[in-house]
Structure 1
Amino acid sequence: MTVLGTRALNRATLARQHLLARATSSVRQAVAHLCGVQAQEPQEPFIGLWSRLAGFRPEHLDDALTGREVVRTHLMRRTVHLVASDDALAWRARHDAMLRRRALGAHGRALAGVDLDELAAAGREVVADGRPRTLSELAQALGDRWPGTPRRVLGELLVTALIPMVQLPPRGLWRQRAGVRNLPLATWLGRDVESLPGGDGDPVGQRLLRRYLAAYGPASAADLRAWCGLAGLPAAVKAVRGELVVFRDERGRELLDLPDAPRPDPGTPAPVRFLPAYDNAILGYHDRSRVIDAPHLGLSVAGRRMVLVDGRVAATWTVRGPRLRISPLRPFTDLERRAVRAEAQDLAAFLGDDIDQVHLDAAD
């Protein structure tokens, strides 16, 4: 069985994440290909898409959100993602059990004595009028029925787990600081959330697996689980195994992949890329060693914006006032410093005229 080294896996990830070469896709096409874009920080998707799409401008994402081509919703790992509207409708039911389980894990004691199905039914009655509501407004409408439960917990449970909801624009638009107003997904899109199909083999899970491998493979079942939060999708993996190719990594783990997916030569040059906070190019794996070194793993869950140099996390970056500051995690060669500065200047121009300084720190 072919063994794929870390650099081979790195180049495969970069190619499929549109980080080896910027794609010419539309926002909707890119978000669909990436199986969603992490969006818990509302402005971060603009940076992630700028690093992946040729000619990307902020109004392209604004138009996709207001045009209902993509939506902001709680889905993978119970975090807010930008998801293509068709995918949100098709995937939501498959994630319901996971969303409930994680919500209970976060608020289990506070929800003692609360029947979740009863709470969901009460919430659907509240939102049936089609009026967008904040979490506080939802909580206020329900609090009297469960007086012993913190109202915010009731509202959060409805929004993140019990009712498929979207966060409406202007939340998530370029340079908007709007609060969250929630509306049922089906109401916003004018189409019902798809029911889970019957039959064996987890058909929706099979589609999720194929889509995940197209954007993240080669990958293990543990990587798949880490990305979506679902329990490994064993029935789906078993059902499609015959159409996949299998590799091993250098530690002997089994990696699955689509036969015709790109696996570039490990020697393929990789350009500098600036990643936003919580980018799924890193968080989309259980084993993140293909992109980030072990000493820096904590950065991937701490909301730090990162810089890829030769395809790997090599620096963090911040914006403070007029300055874009890059802090290397290792020494850079002169050629690398020039490449990092050049990409940083382009990013500063994208972010706006108020950023007029790029500062590259010396490595510790």
Structure 2
Amino acid sequence: MKIPVMTYTARQLNRATLDRQMLLGREPVGLLSAVDRIVAIQAQEPASPYLALWNRIEGFDPADLDEAFATGVVRKASLMRITLHAVAAADHEVFHHAMLPALRASRLYDKRFKSMNVTIEQADAVLEHLLEFASTPRQKAEIEELLHSHVGDVGEPGVWWALRTYGGLVHAPTGGPWAFGLRPAYQSVTTEPRERMAAVAEMLRRYLTGFGPATVLDMNQFSMLPRTTIREALQSLELVQDGEYYDVPNRTIPDEDTSAPPRLMAMWDSTLLAYADRSRIIPDEYRKVVIRNNGDTLPTLLVDGYVAGVWRPTEAGDVEVTAFHALDEHQWDGIAQEATALRKLLGEREPQVYRRYSRWWSGLPAHAVRTV
């Protein structure tokens, strides 16, 4: 068996990610242009898309993202890896169709669904009623009442647990500091039918525009689609290939010595989770520290393009930074400048963002802890 030769260096791959993810310097672009370039923004925590875009857009105004969610030009929905992402509306249509078999299987073949007194056919039939009902935003209690009238009491987690994942619904803004409050609302959206493999191919092309160069294993990690499906879809795309790495044509790779400013990243930032080889941005010795066993991915500190620690807000409204290894004073100065800007953003929205994850701060491999 011939082993592919990788001609990219580790730092070239790191710089390629930073470049495409707009992390080599904030750029004076509109919000929709930035969302299009980032491709997929992890959105389990309502604040995270805001912090992700703050790290990337020069002069970012969070009200722009509020409006984008409210008008539906940016949608929040269960997509890749069966997790919530914020994506452009056009990408949502493609990604939903590409991911639909995986979204369905994650629920309909789960033992929790199989234990319910309801068939897959019944669940699909009631989905038609749900989509019509949710043409205006509906909250969980309203939806469960509708479903109960059609399929009866099936206990917990209930049919809604399955339908909200694969049914094609998006999260509707409910207010709060980050557009989505503690009681989510859901709304149906109109999508055009698409041939599934064409949708998969387009999703992978979009992935490469924002995260390439990347391997089949990387694409598998990003989407959780089978590798056989990925390889089949890649055959229909016009791509360049270098060893095991695929990329879209005519994209340059920054030099290894390209400078990368410090960044205080959102929880679950997509750059940390979009690759099988997470050493592209997370040193191996820190991977299990910042990505916990239950999947929680902490708000990280990037120094020279790599994870070098974590951060959290303090009760006094400052930012506490834990560095995992020694940093020089020039690097700390850059971090302090970022923290000043972050404090302003949080102060206007939620100074104690991510506070419910504070349990992870005990036992960190701290080399230095500073309040900046």
- Return closer, same or farther for 1:351/1:7 CA change in 2, 3 Å cut-off: same
Where does residue 65 of structure 1 map in the other structure? 69
Unaligned runs of 5+ in 1: 187-192, 249-253
Cα distance in 2, alignment partners of residues 172 and 285 from structure 1: 32
Alignment of 1:79-158 (within 5 A): 79-104=83-108, 106-108=110-112, 110-111=114-115, 114-129=118-133, 130-143=135-148, 146=151, 149-158=154-163
- Return closer, same or farther for 1:172/1:75 CA change in 2, 3 Å cut-off: farther
Where does residue 195 of structure 2 map in the other structure? 197
- Residue deviations 1:11-39, cap 9 Å, x none? 00000000012222322222222222111
Alpha carbons 1:282, 1:291 under 8 Å: kept: yes
Alpha carbons 1:93, 1:194 under 8 Å: kept: no
Deviation at 1:265, TM superposition (A): 0.3
Alpha carbons 1:305, 1:316 under 8 Å: kept: yes
Cα distance in 1, alignment partners of residues 313 and 177 from structure 2: 19
Cα distance in 2, alignment partners of residues 225 and 2 from structure 1: 19
Where does residue 221 of structure 2 map in the other structure? 226
Cα distance in 1, alignment partners of residues 112 and 183 from structure 2: 27
* 1:207 aligned onto 2:197: no
Which among 58, 78, 81 is matched to residue 82 of structure 2?
Answer: 78
Which among 273, 278, 287 is matched to residue 263 of structure 2?
Answer: 273
- Return closer, same or farther for 1:78/1:171 CA change in 2, 3 Å cut-off: farther
Where does residue 356 of structure 2 map in the other structure? none
- Residue deviations 1:50-82, cap 9 Å, x none? 001111011110111112211111111111111
Deviation at 1:175, TM superposition (A): 6.6
Please say which of residues 168-177 and 317-326 is displaced more in the overlay. Answer: 168-177
Alpha carbons 2:97, 2:199 under 8 Å: kept: no
Q: Percent same amino acid at aligned positions?
A: 29
Cα distance in 2, alignment partners of residues 337 and 171 from structure 1: 36
Please say which of residues 138-147 and 29-38 is displaced more in the overlay. Answer: 138-147
Deviation at 1:93, TM superposition (A): 1.7
Q: Equivalent residue of 2:219, what SS? A: helix
* 1:38 aligned onto 2:52: no
Alpha carbons 1:140, 1:151 under 8 Å: kept: no
Deviation at 1:118, TM superposition (A): 1.9
Alpha carbons 1:136, 1:155 under 8 Å: kept: no
Deviation at 1:109, TM superposition (A): 5.5
- Return closer, same or farther for 1:218/1:120 CA change in 2, 3 Å cut-off: same
- Return closer, same or farther for 1:105/1:30 CA change in 2, 3 Å cut-off: farther
Structure 1 residue identity aligned to 2:323? P
Which among 327, 331, 347 is matched to residue 326 of structure 2?
Answer: 331
- Return closer, same or farther for 1:85/1:139 CA change in 2, 3 Å cut-off: same
Please say which of residues 255-264 and 347-356 is displaced more in the overlay. Answer: 347-356
Deviation at 1:127, TM superposition (A): 4.0
Deviation at 1:228, TM superposition (A): 1.7
Structure 2 residue identity aligned to 1:313? V
Which among 232, 237, 255 is matched to residue 235 of structure 1?
Answer: 232
Please say which of residues 148-157 and 221-230 is displaced more in the overlay. Answer: 148-157
Cα distance in 2, alignment partners of residues 211 and 89 from structure 1: 13
- Return closer, same or farther for 1:234/1:108 CA change in 2, 3 Å cut-off: farther
Structure 2 residue identity aligned to 1:89? E
* 1:316 aligned onto 2:310: yes
Cα distance in 2, alignment partners of residues 109 and 121 from structure 1: 16
Alpha carbons 2:6, 2:245 under 8 Å: kept: no
Q: Equivalent residue of 2:68, what SS? A: helix
Name the Cα RMSD after superposition.
Answer: 2.4
* 1:258 aligned onto 2:248: yes
- Return closer, same or farther for 1:99/1:263 CA change in 2, 3 Å cut-off: same
Where does residue 190 of structure 1 map in the other structure? none
Alpha carbons 2:137, 2:185 under 8 Å: kept: yes
TM-score by structure 1 length? Answer: 0.87
Where does residue 302 of structure 1 map in the other structure? 296
Unaligned runs of 5+ in 2: 353-365
Alpha carbons 1:203, 1:236 under 8 Å: kept: yes
- Return closer, same or farther for 1:258/1:180 CA change in 2, 3 Å cut-off: same
- Residue deviations 1:221-254, cap 9 Å, x none? 11111112222312111222xx322234xxxxx1
Q: Equivalent residue of 2:252, what SS? A: coil
Q: Equivalent residue of 2:99, what SS? A: helix
Figure out how many residues of one structure are paired with residues of the other and give that number: 343
Where does residue 171 of structure 2 map in the other structure? 167
